[in-house]
Amino acid sequence: MTYWQALILAIVEGITEFLPVSSTGHMIIASALLGIPATAFTKLYLVVIQLGAILSVLAVYWRRFLQNFDFYLKLLVAFLPVVVVGLTLKKYIDILLESVLVVGVMLLLGGLVLMFVDRWFPQEQPEEGHPVTTPSFRQAFVIGVFQCLAVVPGVSRSAATIIGGLTQRLTRKAAAEFAFFLAMPTMAAAAAKDLLDFYQDGGRLTGADVKLILFGNVVAFVVALLAIRLFIGFVTRFGFRAFGIYRVIVGGILLVMIGLGINLQLL
C-alpha cells in the first residue's frame, strides 16, 4: 500500500465513520477501485485507522466523558451485545468484508430505511412531551442490540445505532451523539482483536507499516473532527433522508456495475 492509497482510505474513513453510510463499506469500495490487494496488512489497516476517527469524539465531547459513572455503565451495557455477536461470528464477518456485492445490497436496503426513518420516528414537539436526550440502561441495551446489525458490511454501525436510538424516542441529536460515544469502545475492541489475530496468525508489522498506520490515523482524526460537527448540525435540522438517497444511489450503481460484469472484488 502506498501513502497515496493510505491517504485516500483515511479520508474516506474520517468522512464516513460517523455518517450513516457505512465507513467499512466505503473503504471496501475504495480499496477495490484503487486496486489494493486484500492482504493481512490491508485488512488490519482498514480497521486500525478507525481509532483515529473515534479519538475525534473524545476531542469534541471531552466534557461529556467527565460525567457520572452511569455514563460509562450505559456504554458498557450497549457495548456487550456486539462483543458476543462479534466473537461468535468473526470468521463469517471476515468473509463478508471482502464482498463488494454484500456492501452494495446493504447500502441499498439501508438507504431505503433511512429515506423513511424521519417519518417513522418524528421528533417530539415541546407540547407533546419532553424529548429523550439521555438513554436509560434498558434503552442503551436496545441500542446495543441494533448495533449488532452492523457486523454486516454496508449496514453502517452509525446508522444502526442511530435508528436504535430513535426507536427509543431519543432526539436525532441525542441518538447520533450516543452512536458516537458507543463507537469508542466498539472500534477500540475491534482494532485490538484484529491486531491480536494478526500477530497470532504470524503477521509482523514493519517500520514502514507502522508509519502508514500512524499516518492514516492522523488523517482520519482530522477529517472526522470536521465530519462530526457538520453531521450533527445537518441531521438536527434536516434529518436522515438525504443520506438514504445517497446510499440508494451508491448501492444501485454498485449493483449495476456488478450486474454488467465489472469486477470490483478485492483480489
131-166 pLDDT, tens digit each: 567 889 999 999 999 999 988 888 888 899 999 999
Q: Note whether residue 224 is domain-resident.
A: yes
**Count of domains observed in the chain:** 1
Cβ-based neighbour number of residue 206 at 10 Å:
9
pLDDT band at 266 (very low <50, low <70, confident <90, very high): very low
CA angle 254, 255, 257 (to 5 degrees): 65
Domain assignment present for 267: no
Residue 206 has pLDDT above 50, yes or no: yes
Given this model, what pLDDT does residue 9 score? 93
The predicted structure's pLDDT at residue 36: 83
Three state DSSP letters for 151-203 = HCCCCCHHHHHHHHHHHCCECHHHHHHHHHHHHHHHHHHHHHHHHHHHHHCCC
Q: Tell me if 265 is assigned to some domain.
A: no
CA distance 263 to 249: 19
Residue 97: inside a domain: yes
pLDDT for residue 96 is more than 70: no
Residues 2-41 have pLDDT tens digits of 899 999 999 999 998 888 888 877 888 888 888 888 788 8
> Is 56 part of any domain?
yes
Residue 43 sits in which domain range? 3-259
The mean pLDDT of 208-224, rounded to a whole number, is 93
